[in-house]
Chains A and B, each alone.
Chain A
Amino acid sequence: MNSMTDTVAATPLRNDAAAKMTAREVSVFYGAKKAVDSVSIDISQDNVTAFIGPSGCGKSTFLRTLNRMNDTIANARVEGQIVLDGEDIYAPAMDVVQLRARVGMVFQKPNPFPKSIYENVAYGPRIHGLADGRAQMDEIVERSLKRAGLWEEVKDRLQDSGTALSGGQQQRLCIARAIAVDPEVILMDEPCSALDPIATARIEELIHELRGRYAIVIVTHNMQQAARVSQRTAFFHLGSLVEYGETSEIFTNPRVERTKDYITGRYG
């Protein structure tokens, strides 16, 4: 066999000094069906990590294990170990409420609450009791909207309904909502798939700006997007992590045949 293999998963980047989260042999089952098969991966603190792979390969499922959103699905079961800053997030002592405040999530379809823009952003801080009084809340809302690049567009209509914004604005509102509780990690599940190219570019720009402050994981089916926004890329196929490495490496010089086939568009 030459350097191209088809079966052996590339070794995950285990020696990433700045690993924020580490997953070891994580499998996820829906009932009897295995959707994620023994995935080990390190999520870097300072980089944007992209998950790519054909639809149905388990990207979302694995992403959701990172903040235990799979707990909300009745028949889902997770095996293996996931550690956030040295703490096992599936340990009995772990409080899911606090975990989700530390690991925020942005969804595929913008899902602002049917409340005002202000209340959407204030939602998390209220739940977690982060603000003492109105002034501090105003401050948090303003800071979050600024970081999400939405402040200039909405500062005069904070009381309007969040659902009245355009799709791209709604998605940035959801990012502001996630930022408002000051998380350490932000998970994004195909955040641009419901948006037009201009709104998409806006979100990608935003991901660049947020990088470094938050560890960011983004699922995308758009390979150009992965190439544009991420420094690390993980390729999933049929529930397994096939290859993981520097984005530039993965896209120019994949080590596994299947990765190459996918990236060159031979299937997908």
Chain B
Amino acid sequence: MSSLALFLLVVALAALGWLMARARATAFRRGGSAPRAHSLPSYHGWYVALWTAVPALIFIAVWTPLSANLVMDEVMSAPAAASLPPFEMQRVAILREAREIAEGIRPGGFHPESNALAPAYADALSRTRTMGAVVALLLAFAGGAFAFTRVSPHFRARTRVERLVMAALLGASTIAILTTLGIIASLLFESARFFSLVDPLEFLFGTHWSPQIAIRADQAGASGGFGAIPLFWGTIFIGAIIAMLVAIPLGLMSAIYLTQYARPAVRRWMKPLLEMLAGVPTVVYGYFAALTVAPAVRDFGKAIGIASATSESALAAGLVMGIMIIPFVSSMADDSINAVPQAMRDGSLAMGATTSETIRRVIVPAALPGVVGGVLLAVSRAIGETMIVVMAAGLAANLTANPFASVTTVTTQIVQLLTGDQEFDSAKTLAAFALGLVLFVVTLLLNIVALRVVKKYREAYE
């Protein structure tokens, strides 16, 4: 019996348990033996259904991957397995074929060995499956029967079910947290391996980045290859400088327009339109940057006499990234401007200040902490952004302030280090984890600081 069929069978059993328990609970309600039963009949139903399904499903979830190993062990110990070729890829192909023959998906194999192996495979498969099915069904029956015997007028099925629901919800949120912790742990672990090959100081403060060289064994961890400063600089140059030079003024000004000048009707259609920018997939921004903006920037650079202007430039990536970030900045600024009390605005207008004076001298200064918080969040997003820089910024690890030159960023290099055939323990690939760790730490800090600033600001006007 396949896992899917088994799963469906268990669910069907649970449904049956649900119906039986409910019928029983309804019966003793009707029978008048307990006019005030503790729980509604359906809770008894759920109680039995959960006891039927949950243990059996947990068993299936554990058994399915485990049984694959058991099958493999058994097949490999069969006499026919002795004739398998030593070459890994061929072996895998033959085993897959044997499995398909055993399951009746294909009539015969391309490799003669697979035909020989098929009976052993079929044997092992049916044995483990039967075993799994028997245990799962036993568990389902036992659980269901146990729960069913407890169905009585005074049994607190509702409380039990609620508790189980809570446990399930807790479990769901724990999964997200555990996953994050797992990712952090792996980042830390792999970075530690990297730093055993490359001096952390060299990595953090070195200015020479050329990880390709270090692939050769005689140069593993060679000094000079992993100075990440050009990457950090490129990231800051594009994400925190050029992009912000675009996003801050445009975002702030559109927020000011929307909150202070636009009539409600205008605001109603303009705000969603602006926020639509945030819904454009980053890969679209990426090719917009690479195919439209970058050539224009290069031509402009050449036109104003910058010979070094290339078709991959910090400026092109930064400009497009800035556009992408606008809705982010403007919606944060919008919120903080709206949080400035109307009384503040009235106070200024009553002094004879014009609307723009009021905005410049009172509203923007009052909203500033909130805006700064928003900008920090925007920066943290910009430096983690990948698609645009991969497509438009380039790969050359230049340490330059020339916006027409190509620079590279942390995210671009991570992609670069991990694409293609890689050994997963060379300094080159491990460097990606170290870069990821740096990015993670910086982004985390930016977020913490930003949220603090914004929170403080909110409190100030409550």
Residue positions of A touching B, CB distance < 8 A: 67, 69, 72, 74, 96-101, 104-105, 107, 109, 111-115, 123-124, 127-128, 163, 174, 177-178, 181
Q: Is the CB of A123 within 8 A of B348?
A: yes
- B353-374 CB contacts (< 8 Å) to partner A: 353-354, 357, 361-362, 365-366
- 6 extra A-B contacts, CB within 8 A, seeds A67-B350, A123-B351: A104-B351, A111-B347, A114-B344, A114-B366, A177-B351, A181-B351
Q: How far is the CA of A115 from the CA of B359 in the complex (A)?
A: 14
Chain A contacts for B352, CB-based, 8 A: 96-101, 124, 127-128, 181
Complex CA gap A109/B347 in Å reads 10
CA distance A104 to B354 in the complex (A): 15
Which residue of chain B is the closest to A120 with respect to CB atoms?
A: B347
Give A180's nearest chain B residue, CB to CB: B351
Are A111 and B351 closer than 8 Å at their CB atoms?
no
> Which residues of B are at the interface with A, using a C-beta cutoff of 8 A?
263-264, 341, 343-354, 357, 361-362, 365-366, 460
Q: Which of B347, B357, B366, B460 contacts A174 (CB 8 A)?
A: B347
C-alpha gap A174/B352 in the complex (Å): 14
Is the CB–CB distance between B341 and A111 below 8 Å? yes
Residue among A72, A114, A115, A124 making CB contact with B351, cutoff 8 Å: A124
By the criterion CB–CB under 8 Å, are B343 and A109 in contact? yes
Instruction: Decide: B366 and A72 in contact? CB cutoff 8 A.
Output: no
A109 to B361 Cα, complex, angstroms: 20
* Given A113-B362, A113-B366, A127 contacting B346 (CB threshold 8 A): no
Which residues from chain B contact A96 at a C-beta distance below 8 Å? 352
Shortest 6 CB-CB distances between A and B: which pairs?
A100-B352, A111-B343, A105-B350, A111-B347, A101-B352, A124-B351
Q: How far apart sit A163 and B460, CA to CA, in the bound complex (Å)?
A: 10
On whether A107 and B344 interact (CB within 8 A), knowing A100-B349, A114-B365, the answer reads no
Q: Can you name 19 A-B residue pairings with CB atoms under 8 Å?
A: A69-B349, A69-B350, A98-B352, A99-B352, A100-B349, A100-B352, A107-B346, A107-B347, A111-B344, A111-B347, A112-B347, A113-B347, A113-B361, A115-B365, A123-B361, A124-B351, A127-B353, A177-B347, A178-B350
Output the least CB separation between A122 and chain B (Å).
11
Main secondary structure of the interface of A (DSSP, over half): helix
Give every chain A residue within 8 A of B351 (Cβ-Cβ).
100-101, 104, 123-124, 127, 177-178, 181
User: Which residues of chain A are within 8 angstroms of B353 by Cβ–Cβ distance?
Assistant: 97, 123, 127
C-alpha gap A123/B347 in the complex (Å): 11
In the bound complex, CA of A178 to CA of B346 (Å): 13
- Which residues on the A side are within 8 Å of B347 (C-beta)? 107, 111-113, 174, 177
Give the distance to chain A from B436, nearest Cβ to Cβ, in Å. Answer: 40
Q: Which of A72, A104, A124, A128 contacts B346 (CB 8 A)?
A: A72
Tell me, rounded to whole Å, the shortest Cβ–Cβ distance linking B424 to chain A.
54
Contact partners of B344 in chain A: CB under 8 A: 111, 113-114
Distance between A166 CB and nearest chain B CB, rounded to angstroms: 17
What residues of A have a CB within 8 angstroms of the CB of B361 in the complex?
A: 113, 123, 127
- Give Cα A123 to B366, complex, Å: 14
Enumerate chain B residues within 8 angstroms of A127, measured Cβ to Cβ. 351-353, 357, 361
In the bound complex, CA of A71 to CA of B357 (Å)? 16
Are B362 and A72 interface neighbours, CB within 8 A?
no
Distance of A99 Cα from B343 Cα, bound (Å): 19
Contact present for A97 and B354 (CB under 8 Å): yes
**Once the chains are docked, how many angstroms separate the CA of A60 from the CA of B222?**
77
Asked whether, in the complex, the Cβ of A74 is within 8 Å of the Cβ of B343, the reply is no
Shortest Cβ gap from B147 to chain A (Å): 62
Known A123-B351, A127-B351; contact A74-B341, beta-carbon cutoff 8 A: no
Inter-chain contact A104/B365, CB cutoff 8 Å: no
The distance from the CB of B122 to the nearest CB of chain A, in whole angstroms, is 79
Residues of A within 8 A of B362 (CB): 113
Nearest CB of chain A from residue B109's CB, rounded to whole Å: 79
| CA A111 to CA B362, docked complex, whole Å | 11
Give Cα A180 to B345, complex, Å. Answer: 18
**Residue in A74, A100, A112, A115 whose CB lies within 8 Å of B263:** A74
Task: Decide: B263 and A72 in contact? CB cutoff 8 A.
Answer: no
Report the Cα distance A101→B351, complex, angstroms. Answer: 6
- Residues in B with CB closer than 8 Å to A178 are 350-351
